Amino acid sequence: MMNKFKWAMLLAVLIISGCEKAENLESSVNSRWSGITGQNLEKSYNYFSPGYKATETIESYKLRIATAQINLRWKKGQFVSADCEEETVCKVKVLLDYEYTFPKRSLGGVEVQTNLFENWIKLDNKWYFVPKDK
């Protein structure tokens, strides 16, 4: 009987740690960028902080992304590191791969890899992206 109890406890720990890992900062950042690069904008929009969502609707977000993608195609965004002031406030470094096509198509395009920095906060045990002021 004790052996079954140990297995049940081990299984519970694995399930709980799997849930926590799914909500960690790195996976949240990567998931948001996979939504952007995979054209699943609803997925990426869900990572905006509740306060930001009060100022931008999903429709205006989709329009803003479509406008940005006239000459730009994000290919991959990958978490690199985080500098956290507290456990719930972090500046995240993201490695971004994208392709830029010049407005004059005859000039072609260029593949670019750059670092960018994002602000993230943790509310109710979930990480949210907080865009910089415009």
Query: From CA 121, how far away is CA 49, in angstroms rounded?
Result: 8
In a 3-state reduction of DSSP, which class is residue 24?
coil
- How confident is residue 107, by pLDDT bands cut at 50, 70 and 90? confident
Q: What is the pTM of this model?
A: 0.77
Residue ranges per domain, the chain? 20-130
20-130: CATH class: alpha beta
95 pLDDT exceeds 70? Answer: yes
N-to-C CA span, the chain: 62
SS3 per-residue string spanning 55-119? CCCHHHHHHHHHHHCCCEEEEEEEEEEEEEEECCEEEEEEEEEEEEECCCHHHCEEEEEEEEEEE
Q: Of 9 and 62, which is predicted with more confidence?
A: 62
Say if CB 94 and CB 77 are below 8 A apart.
yes
Give the residue-averaged pLDDT of 53-78: 93
Dihedral over alpha carbons 57, 58, 64, 65 (to 10 degrees): 160
- Residue-level pLDDT at 69: 85
- Residue-level pLDDT at 93: 98
50 pLDDT exceeds 50? Answer: yes
What's the whole-number average pLDDT of the chain? 84
Give the residue-averaged pLDDT of 2-10: 44
